[in-house]
Amino acid sequence: MTVMHSKAVVLGMARTPFGRLSGTLAPLEATTLGSAALLAAIERAHIGSDEIEHIVMGQVLQAGAGQNPARQVGFKSGLAKTVTAETINKVCASGLVALVHASQLVNGDANQVVAAGGMESMSNAPYLLKEARAGYRFGDGRLIDAMIHDGLWDYYFPMTMASQGAKVANELGVSRDAQDEFAYHSHRRATEAQARGDLADEIVPIRVATKPKGKIVLEKLPEPARARVPVAAGSSNGAADAVWDHEPSSEFTLRYGEWAPFVTGDVPHSTLDRDESVRTDASLETMAKLRPIDPGGTITAGNAPGVNDGAAAMIVASTQYARDRGHEPLATLLDHACVAWDSPYIALTPAMAAQKLLAKTGLKKDQIDVWEINEAFSTVALTSAHRLGLNPENINRFGGAVAMGHPIGASGARIVGAVINQLRKRGGGFGIAAICSGGGQGDALLIEVK
């Protein structure tokens, strides 16, 4: 992509509220959350589900989730069996990189319409018993928490990212007081944005069925989309050749109504319509009383994000496709930059990626109207703002992950949606969504709303 020539536009976007660990959304698989977000994005884009050609979804905690979770999202959403799908894991950046990949497919003319985003159910991350396959000969076995092992643990300098974050915060001179103050404002901004209705263009309420468990209550089930044979696969007269001439047996014919993770009618349920972790009663006094996660550290449960469940999705299409069908795009995904650095120093990488993106596009920081920097910890956002010369008051204006939560596969897509939402409310401009990820990487995406 180049700054003035991207043809990848967003037609619709939606995300679930983010739920607490073992909270309201805990009965739902990550792929069910992903399908709920995708169905809402399709509806808001005013397109038919049979227009989607490809799906790219980010998910980090894939152990026990089943084959290719993005493909599951397609089937759960009633998309046709001919819609291709792939799942991306770039830790916390997964959802953002899924959108980048979607825009690259559109800009490269590989696809006209792509569904993309991210999802995570940290409540459903399993425990692993690694040595069990070979058998235990003597002594105790060890259960491994997949949420920590696959999502929150530094493979190269073995410790949790929270422990590393505390050490890096001390090294960089980011005080406990500064982190607590930033966290307080994250909760305050999220509370005020929710009260004003500013998040309505992002969040779709989720009605979680009490019985049957694991399903979402909808007004009506989606209509399963028709399968489309690619024209390129057909013969010279456009008809499919013998390679595509096949009907599945009754045993292998998917009956969507029986298989979908949705129910209709008067079903007992719990409704979640806002981010569950936001503390409307947050105060600096309360935060100051919280103990550090590690002795001598500065990171606490108050100035770090929670462990959460949620999903976000967007419909990315070509400008020509949108124009031909009379759709007004929400935004254009203009350009992307990524960096890699020392693994423990994730606090530095969002600013590095953003700086690389600005240099690549020729834009200056003052030309960026909206900044979203994922609050992996308060210290990440504070360090990024300092390194880029930004006022912390001017980033994450509707709150961030410290308040809303951080379902790691979904957060990258959420902050892109937050940029689009804020740009549209201010009447347009440029925005940057920047995020760090485990292993010491950083990604930044430039977005424009006209």
Q: Which residues contact 397 (CB under 8 A, 6 or more apart)?
A: 189, 193, 370, 422
Classify residue 253 as exposed, middle or buried by CB count within 10 Å of its CB (0-12, 13-18, 19+): exposed
* Dihedral in degrees, nearest 10, Cα atoms 14, 18, 22, 23: -90
Instruction: Name the active-site residue from 54, 185, 338, 436.
Output: 436
Active site residue 338: no
Instruction: Name the active-site residue from 54, 187, 336, 406.
Output: 406
Query: Looking at the chain, how many residues does it have?
Result: 450
Instruction: Name the active-site residue from 92, 101, 187, 327.
Output: 92
Secondary structure, 3-state, the chain: CCCCCCCEEEEEEEECCCEECCCCCCCCCHHHHHHHHHHHHHHHHCCCHHHCCEEEEECCCCCCCCCCHHHHHHHHCCCCCCCEEEEECECECHHHHHHHHHHHHHHCCCCCEEEEEEEEEHHHCCEECHHHHCCCCCCCCCCEEHHHHHHHECCCCCCEHHHHHHHHHHHHCCCHHHHHHHHHHHHHHHHHHHHHCCCCCCECCEEEECCCCCCEECCCCCCCCCCCCCHHHECCCCCECHHHCCCCCHHHCCCHHHHCCEECCCCCEEEECCCCCCCCCCCHHHHHCCCECCCCCCCECCCCCCCEEEEEEEEEEEHHHHHHCCCCCCEEEEEEEEEECCCCCCCCHHHHHHHHHHHHHCCCHHHEEEEEECCCCHHHHHHHHHHHCCCHHHECCCCCHHHHCCCCCCHHHHHHHHHHHHHHHHCCEEEEEEEEECCCEEEEEEEEEC
Active site residue 149: no
* Residues catalogued as catalytic: 92, 406, 436
